[in-house]
Each structure stands twice: as structure tokens, then as C-alpha cells.
């Protein structure tokens, strides 16, 4: 069974703080993704990575950056957290050749005050 | 740009009634369509994909390229079907997904 884990289930940060969200998968998947999930807006892709040290912007990359130094780990960084980044953040992974079948982590609910 | 639209944010039906969750997409190429589901306190998971043409938990979905739709159907709803459902699109050659806004389905006893 594919396991995707995220470092925190709940996180509360202050405006202006630098925030790190960590995601680890244990199935040697090439692709990893970061989404944010907001009511009425669905899932929106922030960034994705198809290989170590490779990254591509998704639909809403502003205010975020990512890091993938090892294949199993994909980090999302909020350089200076703002209240409009309060959201549920989901990490996912997939096999390199897979088209659409993604495995999701449990999510991190981030609140920025 | 590719887009997925789920016109209903909320859908409520009685147990035993038929269910249809609507999904429309815009993409000029050859799409792959998916339905993902998130039950309460569980992680998002794949329910079914159009290329498999399978029935999962009694749900089916047919890709209608003429109407650019991929509606999810179940003839007799069960209480355990209550969940958040997302339709998603994968474009040709792409590994990423475009998700719809989601529909929260509630099955009343």
C-alpha cells in the first residue's frame, strides 16, 4: 500500500513567518504534487515535481516555493505566510508513467493569524 | 485552458434513490477523466477512471465526448456514499490533474 505522509495535521503560524510543509512517500514515485483545498474552489495545484531537483509551477504558485532534494521528499515553503494562505494543503504522489492516478496524504490544515 | 466544472456544490438525496453527480470539462484534445472521493476524516482517493470502464462501489461514469461530460451515477444510494466528490481531468502527455470544485453528497436515511 502506498503511503504518503505529511509532517503535521494542524499548524498555526503568524503572518510573516516562514513555513515548511513536508511530504514523504515510500513507493519510489517519480511525481509529487502540492495542492491547496478550499471550499467551493476544489483542489488547486501549487507546484509539482517529476524528478529530484525538478519542479514546475502549477496554477497558483505565487507566495510558495518547493524543494525536492530526495526522491521521497517534497517540501512546500511559504516564504512569508499571509492570512490568505490559511487553507488545507494536500500532498500527492504518482508513478512517472501514471496518468492521473495519484495517492494523497492526509493533509495539513494551516492557519495563519 | 483546461477546465473542469461541477455545477452542484451540494447534493442531497434519500437512501435508495438514484444519484447523479455532474461533471463537465473543456479540453480539445484526448482527455482522461477521473472521479476522486474523500470520506469524512479520510484522505482523498481515486474512485474510478473512465478508461477502466469499471463499476466501483456501485458507481459508474461514462465519458461523453460530444457533451464533454463525465457524470457519476449510482442507481441506489447508500448512507456510506456520503462524501466529497471531485471530478478531475488529465490532458494528453501530462502527469498533472485539473480538478473541479467538488460536490458534497449527503445521503439521508
Report the distance separating Cα A95 and Cα A102, nearest Å.
8
Q: How many CB pairs under 8 A join A and B?
A: 53
b/e A59-98 (16+ beta carbons within 10 angstroms → b) = eeeeebebbbeebbebbbebeebeeebbbebbbbbbbeee
Predicted confidence at residue A83, as pLDDT, reads 97
Predicted confidence at residue B81, as pLDDT, reads 98
Q: How do residues B18-56 score in pLDDT, each as one tens digit?
A: 999 999 999 988 889 999 999 999 999 999 998 887 888
b/e B82-109 (16+ beta carbons within 10 angstroms → b) = bbbbbbbbbbeeebbbbbbbbbebebee
pLDDT in tens, chain A (113 residues): 669 999 999 999 999 999 999 999 999 999 999 999 999 899 999 999 999 989 999 999 999 999 999 999 999 999 999 999 999 999 999 988 777 789 999 999 999 99
- Averaged confidence pLDDT in chain B: 93
Q: Does B96 touch chain A (CB under 8 A)?
A: yes
Predicted confidence at residue B69, as pLDDT, reads 95
Predicted confidence at residue A50, as pLDDT, reads 92
Dump strand ranges (E) for A1-113.
4-6, 10-13, 19-25, 31-38, 42-49, 56-57, 64-70, 73-78, 87-94, 103-104, 108-112
**Residue contact A101–B45, C-beta within 8 A:** no
Confidence label for B103 from pLDDT (cuts 50, 70 and 90): very high
Q: Does B9 touch chain A (CB under 8 A)?
A: yes
| Distant-in-sequence, close-in-space partners of A19: CB < 8 Å, separation ≥ 6 | A11, A13, A77, A78, A81, A110, A112
Predicted confidence at residue A2, as pLDDT, reads 65
Predicted confidence at residue B28, as pLDDT, reads 84
**Residue contact A94–B32, C-beta within 8 A:** no
Partners of residue B95 in chain A, C-beta under 8 Å: 31, 48, 50, 94, 96, 98-99
Amino acid at each position: 500500500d502506498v503511503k504518503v505522509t505529511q509532517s503535521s495535521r494542524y499548524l498555526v503560524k503568524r503572518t510573516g513567518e516562514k513555513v515548511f510543509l513536508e511530504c514523504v512517500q515510500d513507493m519510489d514515485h517519480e511525481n509529487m504534487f502540492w495542492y491547496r483545498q478550499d471550499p467551493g474552489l476544489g483542489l488547486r495545484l501549487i507546484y509539482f515535481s517529476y524528478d529530484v531537483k525538478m519542479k514546475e509551477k502549477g496554477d497558483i504558485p505565487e507566495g510558495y516555493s518547493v524543494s525536492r532534494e530526495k526522491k521521497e521528499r517534497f517540501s512546500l515553503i511559504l516564504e512569508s505566510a499571509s492570512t490568505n494562505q490559511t487553507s488545507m494543503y494536500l500532498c500527492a504522489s504518482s508513478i512517472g508513467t501514471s496518468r492521473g492516478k495519484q495517492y494523497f496524504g492526509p493533509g495539513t490544515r494551516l492557519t495563519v493569524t | 485552458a483546461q477546465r473542469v466544472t461541477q455545477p452542484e456544490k451540494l447534493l442531497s438525496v434519500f437512501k435508495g434513490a438514484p444519484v447523479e453527480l455532474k461533471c463537465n470539462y473543456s479540453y480539445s484534445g484526448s482527455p482522461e477523466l477521473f472521479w476522486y472521493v474523500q470520506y469524512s476524516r479520510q484522505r482523498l482517493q481515486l474512485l474510478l477512471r473512465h478508461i477502466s470502464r469499471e463499476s466501483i462501489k456501485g458507481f459508474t461514469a461514462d465519458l461523453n465526448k460530444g457533451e464533454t461530460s463525465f457524470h457519476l451515477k449510482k442507481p441506489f444510494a447508500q448512507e456510506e456514499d456520503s462524501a466529497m466528490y471531485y471530478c478531475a481531468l488529465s490532458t494528453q502527455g501530462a502527469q498533472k490533474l485539473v480538478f473541479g470544485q467538488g460536490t458534497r453528497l449527503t445521503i439521508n436515511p
